[in-house]
A and B are shown apart, each in its own frame.
Chain A
Amino acid sequence: MTDRSLLRVEDLVLYFRTSGGTVQAVDKVSFELQRGEAMVILGESGCGKTSLAKAILRLLPRNVHRYSGSVILDDMDVMQLDDEDFRRRVRWIKMSMVPQAAMNSLNPVLRVGDQVAEPMITHFDVSKRDAMTQVRRMFEHVGVPLDFVKRYAFELSGGMRQRVAIAMSLVTSPDLILLDEPTSALDVLTQANIMNVLKRIKKDMDASFILITHDIATSSELADRVAVMYAGQIVEVDTAENFFDEPLHPYSKKLMASVPRLRADQEPEFIVGQPPSLLNPPLGCRFAERCDFRFEQCSEEPPLMDKDGRQVRCWLYAKEYEKMLAREAGV
């Protein structure tokens, strides 16, 4: 781990037990995140991206079948902590989350200021008054008028509620903020506003973000790096420059081609077929069935390979992989 390294996720697994069998929602996911960096996790619904966020923050439902791997935050493997320790030492203190549809997750019977102050009062030994000072500072950061602390959620527009939810995730100054689809239910101008807020926070507070979304265009507004998830696995990790310029994995290529462009004359294409069920994912490459480049090798599961410092889970890049193995064997 380098000095700037903040989070390292290794072989994280989260399976759920359902009446139909075991759902392999997150299957051996590994990645690393630097301090001050924003990582986008892209994927379609059902690919396990929200489960990944919940696995990192240990917000689990009751039907967990298997939950393993390591989540190393600031040199501490938080997977080793028991639930109470995790709650006291990690959640809100080191990382916080803005849940999906956050604007509807505010408590309707509490004033928004009190709600935003709550994690501060619960986790740190501060007076209500000091907490409110911090709340006002956060409201200023995210662009909520200060007199809104006394208002209720229903008195605020969708964009303002989303800002309040973001203020709440920032109020305890965590190192890492997980955002689950922060702009998906908002209008275009409000989306642009929220992305501006996040950009400003990232710059001013040196915060790290994991942004989970299916909206590729909007994700490019914040991304330093991009990870693409497909059927419970990460299939590509790359810098934003490389990825938005020319992604490597056949799925990423198709995903990029499905984005309607406003400024280029390029008819969008859709991806034929459907993602596999996570109940019994195929044994080989999980994208093989929909892939134009499929060959014999694809019936085996590809590992995440290195291609010029970019990671991709596809046999097409296997030569580079073998060379790398040879080099390592030589050393």
Chain B
Amino acid sequence: MSDSTMVEEQAIDTEETGQHNGAMLQIRDLRVWFELRRFGFGRAGWVRAVDGVNFDLLHGEAIAIVGESGCGKSTLMKTILGLYQPTDGKVSVQGDAVGKLGSVGLKEYRSKIGYVQQDPFGALPPFMTVRAILEEPLAINNVPVHERAERIKKAMVEVKLTPVDDFLGKFPHMLSGGQQQRVVIARAMILQPALIVADEPVSMLDASVRVEILKLLRALQESHNLAVIYITHDLSTVRYFSERIFVMYAGKLVEKAPVLSLLRNPEHPYTHALLAASVDPDARNASSLREVPPGEPPSLVHPPSGCRFHPRCPKRIEGLCAEEEPPEFESHPGHLTACWLYK
């Protein structure tokens, strides 16, 4: 019990200092667990999808959260969006904490965050025109009718869906994948949010369109001083489109660092593995095998004791990694790694 109160006090401290730094999103010791039920009653255990995550996001900053499927990155994102409630810990955007808001507060909270989905076609209602899709958030948030057309037009120009009149009456299936994703981005931007959360925004798109959409997001971030959380499993796109990278493994952030610091001097053995597995196009790749750590990511119901990567880690320290969970060590300023090697 004393532990958790300490954490809370710490959180309040940093919250105050955080606001001076201009942190717009604060996440403190966040846990999001899902209950596994057994025949309706009885509890079979918990899925610890997010288990002790801490970070601050500044105004106008773009970060990337990199991790494999099942590491909890989507749960983290949905908690930030206010779709899941934190089991423990705190998520707050500009002072409003998720889980403590009434329905009016929640509506206002959500209008501060834009959400760019992974699959644009799945995210757009097939029976609505582009105009209706973009008008809906405005209607829900009681924007006067006479302002709406102007704001829709402005949002479409920003995402380069021009000439606007050609697109207003179209249905999603009449658009290409890249255009659909532009509509999704326009919808996310239309309430002028302070934060955009993009969940694998380009994984369903072609290589040449990918870069176009990422550049568009980057330009919007810079011109509107937006904070962006870019969730991906592809390290190669991160380099050009964010300032910091957070690497997530089995519900925890194992390494947080500025982009180039992480790419040039990766620290956590898991980050090393991710980088070794990502290749640039080169004919020489065909002549050697990639090094991949054995095994698969652990179950989040019974995560390994100590460091969660230890069963797959080539640099495991016997008697330490399996027993004690590593705290974050700061080897260089701003480069944090949860690994005993950097004690």
Contact = CB atoms under 8 A, between A and B. Distances in A.
A45 B240 contact: no
A239 B234 CA distance: 27
A254 B207 CA distance: 11
A185 B274 CA distance: 16
Contacts of B274: 188-189
Contact of A270 (B177, B212, B275, B277): B212
A97 interface: no
B237 A221 contact: no
A9 B211 CA distance: 34
Contacts of A243: 283
Contacts of B215: 270
Interface string A180-219: 0000000111111101100110000000000000111111
A159 B69 CA distance: 11
A267 interface: yes
B289 A214 contact: no
Interface stretch (A18-26, A80-88, A255-263): A255-263
A117 B53 CA distance: 46
A143 to B, nearest CB: 10
B280 A188 contact: no
A307 B240 CA distance: 35
A219 B237 CA distance: 17
Contacts of A14: none
A15 B263 CA distance: 46
B277 A189 contact: yes
A241 B283 contact: yes
A244 interface: yes
A200 B289 contact: yes
Interface string B225-243: 0000000011111011000
Interface string A131-159: 00000000000000000000000000111
A260 B208 contact: no
Nearest to B291: A192
B279 A218 contact: yes
A220 B279 CA distance: 9
A268 B274 CA distance: 21
Contact of B207 (A189, A220, A258): A258
Secondary structure of the B contact surface, majority rule: helix
Q: Count chain B CB atoms within 10 A of each CB in A193, A258, A262 and give the residue with the most.
A: A262
B301 interface: no
A262 B207 CA distance: 15
A31 B342 CA distance: 54
A224 B207 CA distance: 21
Nearest to A191: B277
Contacts of A192: 276-277, 290, 292
Contacts of B239: 260-262
A158 B176 contact: no
Q: Count chain B CB atoms within 10 A of each CB in A157, A188, A191, A262 and give the residue with the most.
A: A188
Contacts of B68: 187-190
Given A262-B239, A262-B263, A262-B275, A215 B286 contact: no
B293 interface: yes
A186 to B, nearest CB: 9
A261 B286 contact: no
A216 B211 contact: no
Nearest to B71: A187
Contact of B292 (A45, A193, A220): A193
Contact of A268 (B206, B240, B275): B240
A190 B69 CA distance: 10
B211 A270 contact: yes
B285 interface: yes
B207 to A, nearest CB: 5
B278 interface: yes
A23 to B, nearest CB: 16
A259 B280 contact: yes
A44 interface: yes
B313 to A, nearest CB: 13
Contacts of B208: 44, 254-255, 258, 270-271
Given A189-B274, A262-B236, A271-B208, A221 B285 contact: yes
Q: Count chain B CB atoms within 10 A of each CB in A219, A223, A263 and give the residue with the most.
A: A263
A199 B288 CA distance: 8
A218 B282 CA distance: 9
Given A196-B292, A254-B208, A221 B280 contact: no
Interface of B: 68-69, 176-178, 206-212, 215, 233-237, 239-240, 263, 273-283, 285-286, 289-290, 292-293, 296
Given A189-B274, A192-B276, 13 more contacts: A44-B207, A187-B68, A188-B235, A189-B277, A193-B292, A215-B207, A221-B290, A255-B208, A259-B280, A260-B240, A262-B279, A264-B280, A270-B211
19 contacts: A38-B286, A44-B206, A44-B208, A158-B69, A187-B68, A189-B277, A190-B68, A195-B290, A218-B279, A219-B281, A220-B279, A221-B279, A222-B286, A240-B286, A244-B283, A260-B237, A260-B239, A260-B240, A262-B263
